[in-house]
Structure 1
Amino acid sequence: MTGTFALVRLALRRDRLLIPVWVLGLAGITLSTASAMDELYGTQALRQQLGVTAGSNPAFLAMLGPIHDYSTIGGILAWRWGVFGGLLTGLMAMFLVTRHTRAEEETGRLELIGSTVTGRHAPLAAAVAVSALASLLIGLFIALGLVGLGEDAAGSFALGLAFTGVGWVFTGVGAVAAQLTESARTANAIAGGVLGASYLLRAVGDAAGDQGPQWLTWLSPLGWLELVKPFADDRWWVLGLSLLLTVVLVGVAAVLVARRDLTAGLLPTRLGPARAPASLGSAFGLAWRLQRGMLLGWTVSLFVLGAVYGAVARAVEDMLNANPALGKVMSQLGGSGAIVDVYLASILGIIGLFSAIYVVQATLRLRAEEAEFRAEPVLATSVRRVSWVGSHLVFATLGVVVVLAAAGLGAGLVHGARVGDVGGQVTRLVGSALAHVPAVWVVAGISLLLFGLAPKLASVSWAFLVVFLVLGQLGPLLDLDRWAMDLSPFTHVPKVPGADLTATPLVWLTVVAVALMVVGIGSFRRRDIG
């Protein structure tokens, strides 16, 4: 453990802007949402109506989880923002751990640090400490802010520490994932897969009802955030599950880090054949080899997620018909039209945002190849820069078409089977899902632009994605000005099914995306590699 404190100071110095943005951003969004909820549900009558209708409907249970306390703004906040806030906290934690462990090994910096008076466990301990501290600050700022807004202190701290618990668990998940593979990208993919599985288990368990497998929620760290029941029962002992799992995961990571060589992963890298296949003779073939695993994983994941949401589509109609206030909120989020179509438009909007994560990962593969000195040998051959960038961009732009089509197919198959119109529902929901493609292309364009102009800032693409998520999910509730909402490309996507599909905004989004990509490619052609 020698040198741990010095490495903590180094990590905090490197992330002196990144960590405050995460902490203050998540805390600020949560508190702003609480203020918006106070305006939207200012009377006990409205809150009681919300609790009766939303608390038992499978559709909202799958999207947001159960509402345990509808008599207070804090309880409604925990229901409306808890799952999404927990997702973002978990993402922050796993990224921080990977950044200061596996990424440092991959670039060779940790080997230099290890040649000084530094213990074998010090880098891992420092990364875990920094991530755990950031998660704790998020929880404390949320708790103190809610108390300042007049909410119950016990419930406020229960909610804040529930966010912290999610962050701590995925600190441990990230620590273990960093020991398994040689690549920071793969480590993030493993940890992200665990986070996605946690979300899916929670959605299935929450929507199951009294006769279904509700116990699945107990298998999810995101489910534990709900099961703390802030402002209702304040079950503090559930926080102990997060703490216990964190200790176990960090302990496992500490054992594993001592059982492997520096820069190596416990999962052995599979040796390739003695002679490369003909497909690797081109830039496109190499890009396919690098991108295919991620594309397959996202396709399967969003197909399953679409099927889960499609399974509860019909159940939303009775709930929203019984509560005009909720129908108004859902219309703000998903457009106008039939109630079920409004719900489907809302969940497809969420899935569209999720697919943008894939696009950022696929685009930033360019930066990973460059930073890890694998791009330079490729470009030293007859491969042109435009061909190299374009080969990866194909999988970012066309890959998202496959991913979104899979999500629409999953939702259409399940929902169509329930309403007796599989063919019709598959066609309309696949088409509705694909309507989000131009907006996701804009995200790809932003990522490519940053890669071309300022490669060291390419990771800022994730910040844009978080902003788009907040604008999409909370913008109507926060009553933001129209110009602010229009900053998100997803705001301009027609809310289909339910609304008329107009081509004009999709064409303009495509034009913007192409312009961003062209500028990004042109900038990359003019700058030095590295």
Structure 2
Amino acid sequence: MSAGAVRAGSRATPGHWSVLTGTGYILRFILRRDWIRLTVWSGSLAAFCVYYVVAISAVYPDEAARQNRAAAMTNPSGVLLGGPGYGLEDYTVGAMFANEMTLWLMVFLATFNILQITRNTRVEEATGRSELVRALPVGRHAASVAAFLVVVLADAVFAVLGSLLLISAGQLATADTVVMMAGLMLTALVFAGITTVTCQLTVHGRGASGLAFAVLGAAVLIRGVGDIQEQHGSWLSWLSPLAWAQQTRVYVDLRLWPLGLSVVAIIAALALGAFLANRRDLGGGLLAERAGRADAAPSLASPFALTFRQQRSGLLWWLVGCVVIFGLSGLFLGKSTVDAIRSLSEQNSLAAEIFGDDPLAGFLAIMMLHNGLAVAVFAVAMVLRVKPEEDEGRFGLGLSRSASRSNLLLSHLAVVALGTIALLFVGGALALWAGGLLAGGNVELEVPMKSAGAFALGIAVLIAFTAALYAWIPKASPLAWVLLAFVVVQSFFGSILELPDAVSGISPFWWIGNYPRTPLDAPHLIGLGAVAIALLALAVTGFRRRDLAAG
């Protein structure tokens, strides 16, 4: 935020304004600055809700097909990745959505809230902008309250829009749908409140968001383990905020009181955050920082080593998340799940079109696509981190040494490329293969590895395209997210929308095909590699020609 976010017309002195003075001005500023980000998150999640309901209604059109699906969700991996299993005896479309999708929607929405709270509070302090704003008549807690109200508004838009779409397009029960979406919203706000606490503990935004993500990961694990221990959840499940929304038993036996736990948790987290904020200095943290070396280690002398040091924590957590998610997904590659998919394909033409004649290959293709899309998000986000390095003057400091512009940019992209390879091959292919092995499946390691290699070429195009945007038109860098959004839309909706090949071809993933259901096309892969190299050369040329930001 900038000092212009708050008007300085007041003659009030520090003793005359409350701790919330200026909240409205800061709220309006954040909404004006982040409205695109907020709209994309809320709208895309709501759109995904209706897509999932429409898709499962088509794939599982009758009770027999849905009961086959319910049988696959009773094993430990299904419970861990889904929910407590309410409604499995009569698996309606609503019960299927509540049992299989609410966990992921809560995680995605909580992730958004964590990043948004950190961005508008801790990061603002780290850059010094909060100090400028606080020089005006602005209360101590105004920025934190404004940041929280922003995520409340964004989450409410998702809940209302998602409810309307599910009720109209999915024909789901009104009361149950509203309660379910309210539960998702309240759970996400619990983690927004937790993030307000972690922002008081550490000096850096990455540390604050890292602590909040650690709590989110623990909540996912506790909920899963608790639900595995006992049908419909054990006492351990109730220790996780994620369980409270699922325990409303929507579309089965609706009850509201578990949502009260989320409300209490939100109030408690906000109160604790305010209490801690009163006991630290602006720009400081309550956790003591570990004393560093007096001088940099020799291993940090090169731009590549320094960039890797900066990105390693984020890469590690992404790798852990991919290994857990796709390792558990690999447990569905066992013979029982494959037989269930084959039986479903025999009963439903759409399922047969999705999975083909080989259910194992069809399932692998879907899982590797999800892995590729997840890693694409990581890659674009990591490339875009180069812009703050320039804006805040650190690139200029690097150039004051012997490093060249090309070396700085290529070092950053090399770290992103290595992270991409690790996430695709270890977090995706190897994890899926290991999960299938544990489930007694018959998956050859070569198959997911070849798929990971193909997606690596597609993501290389996204990396190089993002770098070229940054190198030539830094302000246009966010357009990389537009291309990534199109990749997602084409991957999931391309056949439904009947997009022509000329339009679908904009997506690098379209050229990969549907391996292992269909063979890889070598000319297409070579073409992707050539496009990536050309864009990379364009990026290096542009970065060497233009002026850097003053910082």
TM-score norm. by structure 1 comes to 0.85
The 10-residue stretch of structure 1 (320-329 or 141-150) with the greater mean CA deviation from structure 2? 320-329
* SS of match in other structure, 2:367: helix
Distance 1:138 1:26 in 2: 7
Structure 1 pair 385–419 and aligned structure 2 pair: CA distance change class (3 A) = same
Aligned partner of 1:168 in structure 2 is: 189
Aligned partner of 2:545 in structure 1 is: 526
Distance 2:345 2:236 in 1: 32
Contact preservation (8 Å) 2:333, 2:439? no
C-alpha distance after superposition, 1:489-528 (max 9, x if no partner)? 3344344445434333333333333333333333333333
1:389 aligns with 2:371: no
Aligned partner of 2:259 in structure 1 is: 239
Contact preservation (8 Å) 1:412, 1:430? no
Question: What are the equivalent positions in structure 2 for 1:248-267 lying under 5 Å apart?
Answer: 248-267=268-287
> Which of 169, 177, 195 is matched with 1:156 structurally?
177
The 10-residue stretch of structure 1 (433-442 or 461-470) with the greater mean CA deviation from structure 2? 461-470
Aligned partner of 1:144 in structure 2 is: 164
Distance 2:519 2:24 in 1: 58
Structure 1 pair 414–36 and aligned structure 2 pair: CA distance change class (3 A) = closer
1:187 aligns with 2:208: yes
Distance 1:199 1:482 in 2: 40
Aligned partner of 1:489 in structure 2 is: 508
Question: What are the equivalent positions in structure 2 for 1:40-189 lying under 5 Å apart?
Answer: 44-45=62-63, 48-49=66-67, 52-56=70-74, 61=79, 64-65=82-83, 66=85, 68=87, 73-79=93-99, 81-149=101-169, 150-189=171-210
Measured after TM superposition, the shift of residue 171 of structure 1 is 1.6
Measured after TM superposition, the shift of residue 101 of structure 1 is 0.8
> Which of 441, 464, 468 is matched with 2:460 structurally?
441
C-alpha distance after superposition, 1:208-260 (max 9, x if no partner)? 48689876655554454443333222332232233233223222322222222
Aligned partner of 1:372 in structure 2 is: 392
Distance 2:411 2:323 in 1: 25
Measured after TM superposition, the shift of residue 486 of structure 1 is 5.0
Contact preservation (8 Å) 2:113, 2:189? yes
Measured after TM superposition, the shift of residue 205 of structure 1 is 6.1
Contact preservation (8 Å) 2:376, 2:459? yes
Paired amino acid for 1:507: I
Aligned partner of 2:525 in structure 1 is: 506
Distance 1:450 1:189 in 2: 28
Aligned partner of 2:323 in structure 1 is: 303
Distance 1:146 1:356 in 2: 28
Paired amino acid for 2:499: D
Distance 1:39 1:434 in 2: 32
Structure 1 pair 186–417 and aligned structure 2 pair: CA distance change class (3 A) = same
Structure 1 pair 471–390 and aligned structure 2 pair: CA distance change class (3 A) = same
The 10-residue stretch of structure 1 (260-269 or 397-406) with the greater mean CA deviation from structure 2? 260-269
Distance 1:464 1:372 in 2: 26
Distance 1:114 1:512 in 2: 48
* SS of match in other structure, 1:516: helix
TM-score norm. by structure 2 comes to 0.82
The 10-residue stretch of structure 1 (252-261 or 186-195) with the greater mean CA deviation from structure 2? 186-195
Question: What are the equivalent positions in structure 2 for 1:317-466 lying under 5 Å apart?
Answer: 317-324=338-345, 336=356, 338-407=358-427, 408-419=429-440, 425-459=444-478, 461-462=480-481, 464-466=483-485
1:276 aligns with 2:296: yes
Question: Where in structure 2 are there 5+ consecutive unaligned residues?
Answer: 1-19
Measured after TM superposition, the shift of residue 397 of structure 1 is 0.9
Distance 2:150 2:323 in 1: 35
Contact preservation (8 Å) 2:67, 2:91? no
* SS of match in other structure, 2:547: coil
In our comparison, the structure showing a higher alpha carbon Rg is: 2
Contact preservation (8 Å) 2:86, 2:252? no
Distance 1:504 1:463 in 2: 26
C-alpha distance after superposition, 1:314-366 (max 9, x if no partner)? 04123213322787666655x54532333233223222222223323432231
> Which of 28, 31, 45 is matched with 1:12 structurally?
31
* SS of match in other structure, 2:294: coil
Measured after TM superposition, the shift of residue 108 of structure 1 is 1.6
* SS of match in other structure, 2:139: coil
> Which of 302, 305, 309 is matched with 1:285 structurally?
305
Contact preservation (8 Å) 1:53, 1:322? no
* SS of match in other structure, 1:136: helix
Distance 1:383 1:182 in 2: 29
* SS of match in other structure, 1:351: helix
Distance 1:475 1:214 in 2: 42
User: How many aligned residue pairs are there?
Assistant: 524
Question: Where in structure 1 are there 5+ consecutive unaligned residues?
Answer: none
Identity of aligned residues (%): 30
Measured after TM superposition, the shift of residue 177 of structure 1 is 3.4
Paired amino acid for 1:353: L
Structure 1 pair 172–512 and aligned structure 2 pair: CA distance change class (3 A) = farther
Measured after TM superposition, the shift of residue 391 of structure 1 is 0.5
Contact preservation (8 Å) 1:442, 1:509? yes
Structure 1 pair 507–73 and aligned structure 2 pair: CA distance change class (3 A) = same
Distance 1:248 1:319 in 2: 45
Structure 1 pair 331–144 and aligned structure 2 pair: CA distance change class (3 A) = same
Structure 1 pair 416–36 and aligned structure 2 pair: CA distance change class (3 A) = closer
Measured after TM superposition, the shift of residue 93 of structure 1 is 1.8
Structure 1 pair 434–198 and aligned structure 2 pair: CA distance change class (3 A) = farther
Distance 1:348 1:6 in 2: 45
Contact preservation (8 Å) 2:50, 2:162? yes
Measured after TM superposition, the shift of residue 138 of structure 1 is 1.2
C-alpha distance after superposition, 1:234-290 (max 9, x if no partner)? 332232233233223222322222222222233444333223222222212222222
Structure 1 pair 276–36 and aligned structure 2 pair: CA distance change class (3 A) = closer
Distance 1:28 1:394 in 2: 34
